[in-house]
Structure 1
Amino acid sequence: MGYYPTKAASNIYCQCRKAAAEYNDRLNSREGAAELLNMSVSTLSDYELGITKAIPVESVVRMADLYNAPELRNHYCTHDCPIGRTDVAPVKLDELDRLVMELQGCMKCAGIDRENLLEIAADGKIDDSERPQLQQILQNLDAISEGANSLKLWVQKNLGGSDT
């Protein structure tokens, strides 16, 4: 197999392996990657070509660790896991400055609504006139959560590890 697969080029598992090959030449080939992942070349090929529809979670974890690609875990949770598809938000891995700017914008929006949230919650009830404001606050909190998760993913990828 050549160094630049065409059929699997748009597959996230292949993209992450190829990106990791910049730091580990053995990952340039499926053969080298499969050996390091302790799986057969045909299994890895099936993952990268999208032939295997339900990739075992332990394989995704091994690839994410070997490739230094925590985004694979999020991709698995948001696309392949039956629970995650409905409960986990996809996060994007972007440049640090872009992630921080987006997160700051979300925080500013949510900060504007902070007083409104306190007013809404003061009596312990949500009346019909407060519902639209509360919905907007929840959307802002979702945006902050997405921004925080994107920043966390960037830190894991670039500073090495989830406990940083």
Structure 2
Amino acid sequence: MGKKATKAADNVYCIARYKAAEEDSRFNSRESTAELIGMDRTRLARIELGTVNPYPEEVLQLAKAYGSPELCNVYCSKQCPIGEKTVRTIEIEEFDRIALKALGSLQNADELREKLIQIAADGVISEDEHEDFNHILEELQRISMNAQALQLWADKHIELIHNREENQNERK
């Protein structure tokens, strides 16, 4: 087994590789990982050490190889110059927490729909409707974040199940 990279221990890409190594020993070292995914070993080291940001296609490659779709969200929300301004970081939690948050955010959906219909009825957002409209936008953002978290959880766990099945078939 490869030794743990202490300088990169808090790097999201390194952490994802370590988690992938729990399922597949080929990810134990940067060398074998780099060979497996077709990336230069020193490039992978720089990404894990945080001295360079990965290119989007590298993030996709790492996310797929590690079964960690959350890497795409991390890249977009924290490393992409456009995404930093437009994409919010999504934290992956346990399924029950995400499901309850998603359901909770939908509780007032009918009320939000009615308010939005009232505001939109005349095609103008009047001064006295600004507060309600901003509240609607905040609630829609919360619903969106919860839906994205649920989607990310599903992508990760469905991918993990698929990868385990593929690894078992390869070993047979």
Stretches (4+) displaced over 6 A = none
Aligned length: 160
Q: Deviations over 1:49-102 (max 9, x none)?
A: 1111x3111111110000000001111111111111111122111111110111
Identical counterparts, % of pairs: 41
Q: What TM-score comes out, normalization by structure 2 length?
A: 0.87
Structure 2 counterparts to residues 60-139 of structure 1, below 5 A: 60-139=59-138
1:86 alignment partner, SS class:
helix
Q: Tell me which residue corresponds to 2:17.
A: 17
2:23 alignment partner, SS class:
coil
| More displaced 10-residue stretch of structure 1: 103-112 or 140-149 | 103-112
The reply to whether residue 45 of structure 1 matches residue 45 of structure 2 is yes
What 5-or-longer segments of structure 1 have no aligned partner?
A: none
Q: CA RMSD in A?
A: 1.6
- CA separation in 1, counterparts of 2:119 and 2:39? 55
What 5-or-longer segments of structure 2 have no aligned partner?
A: 161-172
- CA separation in 1, counterparts of 2:50 and 2:37? 18
- CA separation in 2, counterparts of 1:158 and 1:113? 32
Q: What TM-score comes out, normalization by structure 1 length?
A: 0.91
1:160 alignment partner, SS class:
helix
Q: Which amino acid aligns with 1:9?
A: A
Q: Tell me which residue corresponds to 1:3.
A: 3
